[in-house]
Amino acid sequence: MRLRAALVLALIAALLTAPPALAEVVHPRQQWLRDATAGLFLHWGMFTAPRHLDCAAWERDVTGGGWSAGYWVDEARKLGASYIVLATFHSRLGYARPWPSAIPGSCATERDLLGELVAAGKEKGVRVLLYMTDDPQWHAEQGVETLDSVAYSAYKGQRVDLTTRAGFGMFSYDLFFEVMERYPDLAGFWIDNDNEYWEQHRLYEQIRERRPSWLLSNNNEDTPIMDTVSNEQKTGMTPPYDYPQAAWTPMPRLTEADYKLPTTGDWWYDGGDHPVDVRLSTGRFITNAGSSMKSLMAETPMVNGRFPPQQEAFNAFMSTWVPPISESLRATEGGGYMYGGLQPGFWNDGAHGVITVRRDDPDIQYVHVVTRPSTDHVRLRDNGYRVRRVSDLRTGRPLRFAQSGGHLTILGITAWDDYDTVFKVETAGRTGFLDGVTSTAPELVDGSFETFWDAGGRLPASVTLDLGRRERIAYLAVNQREWSPVYARESFGRPEDSARIKNYRVHVSDDGRHWGRPVRAAALPSARGVQIIDLGERHARYVKLEVLDTWAGPQAPRFHRQLRIDEIAVARAYPLSRGSLPLEAEHQRRSGGARVERCAACSGSAQVTGLSGGTLTYRDVTAPAAGEYRLRIDHTAAAPAPLSISVNGAAPTEVRVPGDNPDVPAATSLPVTLKAGANTIALTGAAGVDRIAIAPMPAAPGPPRTTMTVDPSGLQWVGPGRQTLNVSATLRLDDDEALDQVSLAPAAPAGWTVEGGPATAATLRLGQTLTGSWTITSPGEVSAADVPISASFRLLGRPGTVTRQLRVRPRPADRVFMREAEDSRNRIGDAGITSCAACSGGQKVRNLGGGPDAYVLFEDVTVPAAGSYTLFVDFTVNGERSYVVTVNDGTPVEVKVSGTGNNTPYTTTIPVTLRAGANTVKLHNDAAAAPDLDRISLG
């Protein structure tokens, strides 16, 4: 497999010298940024606290305060940043230009601050990119006009309104060319979204012609001509530092993670010395490097350019914390993806981390343990790499390790770094994989991550792999396309979800026609990086992977049922070392019919079976203190089977463990009470046992990773009198840790009634769902009520709940119909739902219009009689935009509206003619962006 790694590097080298057709994905001008780990993002301008409303006064205070370009460059280097993005021409910082501009229109300094920064950076090897915005909407946010349309109109010899997108586009277009002419040592532009004027006048193409070595980066969208896709302030993942979980652009696309270092306050200095969460910030820094993403860290310089004390302190910390592990971050790529490497993500006993791989020698990898396990070892999938040596990178201390069953276990770890314990793993390359495999989807076995198989929206979907002859088969290594987040979320008002495999089946065959029963039928986690499907020890020529469904739900149409896979590799065997793990079953006491059997996918390549007529006894399970512990049992079974566990001779605990293959271990965890010192654990039952592991119970486990949906969702407006609602809910488990005694049901408010009992499940495992339906009735005249719909369960013996609220409100007396735009009964196409504190229900639909697929379709708009009605549309907008309203597929009507700020709801009215009963109302605009939509009602 060393040859395969060399071929991957050769592919990347070829892409780096590729012709212009591939230039925007991989191009030589990008190489300096690909070699970088991080950048420093600086938001700074007229409205930096204390805000200045006069450009000259701001410049005087900048200079008088001792502003120094060298200080910024030195602070960037402390962070390990190779570049600075300067955001002064920012819509909410006064559109300040820190250079002497010949083009009137907004604040420009007499002192050439930009030129000084570019020169200072060049001297110390730190490049500078200039931020440019497309957005004029905040031109009067501070109560003064910051854009001078009169002066710019005189300069252009024509009337130009800079507060419009077209006028601002013309103004900023001129600035691009002024900067290109004046600052040849600039590294490029960091562009905050697009302006129609730029696109119409071929701005980007002209930048390419005039400054071919400059980079172009765009915020939050993947524009083909741009070099870099920047992902802004992603949150909501578990663990919270694992920023790449929310990324949606696959390698080798150059990507940034753009986030604030101060955990509170604005993107710019607002007068406060806000704290920097060291744990969160270092975790982001490391996990981004482990995904080949660049950390663009935003700090908030004061008017004089200096950073608040807590940010300076963080920079100083980074200047000493990073150097001892710098070899694991510089000239490396993220491991587990297209560059090879061990599997990143969630490991044993609460551990989590990423892998980095040396570019010059992919046989050297680094395991970054960002969240340490609760035990003294780390166990992760080896992805076929034969490990020769493991050492602690910070100390150089060699460490014991064991390798079998597809796992590498690093043992006896006593020294943990507070933020990132790094192990240097030296390998003998990737072994055991079959060459010459062909497929019904050739893209899966062509050795290129630039081509991929697309199922075309069809599920179930299957692919067949032809090994060329009958071979031994141990497992599949599947690299799915990294083009979606790993969990459901909203990003800038657009719904996102994981497009990765959930439930699958694997069949094998000797002739490609007769497949028999599946050898695996299970669920894959929604996770980034290579995923392993163990098959046991099989012999066949053909392997068929059948994908039954994916994780993405219908609320995210871009990802729903959209399966894409980059590569699948077939392995005949696992790497094996001489080291063994503690508590492996084959080394314990056996009685009755218990016996040791070979099991290639098991730890130590063996398991103990025959426990239906025998007993496996662990006689020396050591606990440091008496108390409750988490017992994990790795077991095998051809189907779900009973297993009995007795601790220290106590009455046994019966569990039903999952299984779909007697040669592939699965895991079940349960709480057990141990005494200090040696304990005895005895196991009997119909399953085989690979090994057990003991760990402290999680100190305070939060809610498990679940997705819960309620239909109808959102705020429900109902008419007068007694009302009945039909409600359904679904709970999906997204976590590897099983839930027990699961119950799902609404709780009726006082006076309300619920028809239908709770939906229940004895156990819920990864990817499984529980669904219930109920009829909820109000007591006589309806009044405002919140109906909680809750899932209760036990996790490792501890109770837990997950709750969603169904909010019910009586509609106003002058309305015959009212519904929120975000209601689940509507169809919203490619539009998205976002929070809006001032809106009814606290949400609205945004990203409406601009094409035929972004709309809100209200179905079942019910009225008591045919006739004329007034349609009330509640919306938010900044500037002037239009809806197109179509009722019952009739003639579309344009409705023009205007407003200030995008967080203030307005109302407009339209006369409509409706039929008795159900109608449809569609708000859309195929030609241009429409306002955001809060709700509609009829009067």
Q: In sequence order, what DSSP letters do the residues of 260-299 get, joined into one string?
A: ESBSSS-SS--S----B-HHHHHHHHHHHHTTTEEEEEEE
**Which H or E element spans position 418?**
none
Q: Give the number of residues written for the chain.
A: 939
> Which of 800, 609, 616 lies closest to 698, judged by CA?
800
- Opening angle at CA 362, ends 357 and 367, nearest 5: 35
- Opening angle at CA 240, ends 236 and 245, nearest 5: 70
DSSP per-residue codes, 217-268: EEESS--TT-SEEEEE-----SSTT-GGGG----TTSEEEEEEESBSSS-SS
Which part of the chain is CATH 2.60.120.260? 438-571, 607-695, 817-938
**Using the 8-state DSSP alphabet, how is residue 910 labeled?**
E
Q: Alpha-carbon distance 938 to 863, whole Å?
A: 9
Low-confidence residues in the chain, pLDDT < 70:
1-23, 492-493, 700-702
- Opening angle at CA 493, ends 491 and 496, nearest 5: 45
Q: Which CATH class is domain 332-430?
A: mainly beta
- Torsions phi, psi of 34, nearest 5? -65, -30
Q: Alpha-carbon distance 344 to 52, whole Å?
A: 48
572-605 confidence digits (pLDDT tens): 999 998 777 889 999 999 999 999 999 999 999 9
Q: How many CA atoms lie within 13 A of 166 on its CB side?
A: 5
- Opening angle at CA 665, ends 664 and 671, nearest 5: 165
Residue that is written with structure tokens 């741009």 in the block: 226
Q: What is the pairing mode between strands 827-829 and 769-777?
A: unpaired
Round the CA-based radius of gyration of the chain to a whole number and report it: 30
CB 390 within 8 A of CB 401: yes
Residue that is written with structure tokens 């040859």 in the block: 3
Q: Alpha-carbon distance 892 to 925, whole Å?
A: 10
Residue that is written with structure tokens 């497999």 in the block: 1
The pLDDT value given to residue 879: 76
Q: What are the structure tokens assigned to 78, written together?
A: 């402390």
Buried b (16+ CB within 10 A) or exposed e, 688-713: bbbbbbbbbbeeeeeebbbbbbbebb
CB atoms within 10 A of CB 783: 13
**Using the 8-state DSSP alphabet, how is residue 608 labeled?**
E
Q: Alpha-carbon distance 16 to 252, whole Å?
A: 10
CB atoms within 10 A of CB 578: 7
Q: Alpha-carbon distance 282 to 336, whole Å?
A: 21
CB 776 within 8 A of CB 787: yes
Q: Does domain 607-695 have CATH number 3.30.420.310?
A: no
**Which H or E element spans position 687?**
none
The pLDDT value given to residue 12: 44
Q: CATH for 438-571?
A: 2.60.120.260
Q: Alpha-carbon distance 102 to 79, whole Å?
A: 35
Tell me the β-bridge partners of 509: 542
- CATH of the structural domain 706-810, one choice from 2.60.40.10, 3.90.1150.10, 3.40.50.720, 2.40.10.220: 2.60.40.10
Q: What are the structure tokens assigned to 315, written together?
A: 């920079």
Q: Is 339 exposed, middle or buried (0-12, 13-18, 19+ CB in 10 A)?
A: buried
Residue that is written with structure tokens 């691009």 in the block: 176
- Opening angle at CA 517, ends 511 and 520, nearest 5: 105
Q: What is the pairing mode between strands 817-820 and 188-192?
A: unpaired
Q: CATH for 27-321?
A: 3.20.20.80
CB 669 within 8 A of CB 708: no
- CATH of the structural domain 817-938, one choice from 1.20.210.10, 2.60.40.420, 3.20.20.370, 2.60.120.260: 2.60.120.260
Cut 0.85: pTM above it:
yes
CB 18 within 8 A of CB 252: no
Strands (E), 44-154: 81-87, 127-133
Q: Is 612 exposed, middle or buried (0-12, 13-18, 19+ CB in 10 A)?
A: middle
Q: Give Cα 75 distance to the centre of its chain.
A: 29
The pLDDT value given to residue 496: 86
CB 306 within 8 A of CB 332: no
Residue that is written with structure tokens 């410049």 in the block: 59
Alpha-helix residue ranges (DSSP H) falling in 865-926: none
Which part of the chain is CATH 2.60.40.10? 706-810
CB 335 within 8 A of CB 341: yes
Q: Is 922 helix (H, G, I), strand (E, B) or coil?
A: strand
Which part of the chain is CATH 3.20.20.80? 27-321
CB 808 within 8 A of CB 777: no
CB atoms within 10 A of CB 290: 32
Strands (E), 765-853: 769-777, 785-795, 798-810, 817-820, 827-829, 832-835, 843-846
Q: Give the 3-state secondary structure of 137-176.
A: CCCCCCCCCCCCHHHHHHHHCCCCCCCCHHHHHHHHHHHH
- Opening angle at CA 360, ends 356 and 365, nearest 5: 30
**Using the 8-state DSSP alphabet, how is residue 652 labeled?**
P
Q: Give Cα 545 distance to the centre of its chain.
A: 26
CB 345 within 8 A of CB 527: yes
**Using the 8-state DSSP alphabet, how is residue 327 labeled?**
G
Distances 931 to 167, 194, 642, 846, 897 between C-alpha atoms, Å: 20, 18, 58, 7, 8
Q: Is 368 helix (H, G, I), strand (E, B) or coil?
A: strand
CB 276 within 8 A of CB 310: yes
CB atoms within 10 A of CB 509: 15
Q: Alpha-carbon distance 88 to 167, whole Å?
A: 20
Q: What is the pairing mode between strands 293-299 and 38-43?
A: parallel
Q: For residue 23, give every residue at least 6 positions away whose Cβ sits within 8 Å of its Cβ, in sequence order, or none.
A: none
Distances 57 to 17, 110, 111, 405 between C-alpha atoms, Å: 49, 12, 13, 69
The pLDDT value given to residue 14: 40
> Which of 930, 922, 911, 835 lies closest to 872, judged by CA?
911
Q: Alpha-carbon distance 505 to 461, whole Å?
A: 10
The pLDDT value given to residue 11: 43
**Can the peptide bond before residue 50 be classed as cis, meaning omega within 30 degrees of 0?**
yes
> Which of 72, 93, 80, 102 lies closest to 36, judged by CA?
80
Strands (E), 653-723: 653-657, 661-674, 677-685, 688-696, 706-711, 715-718
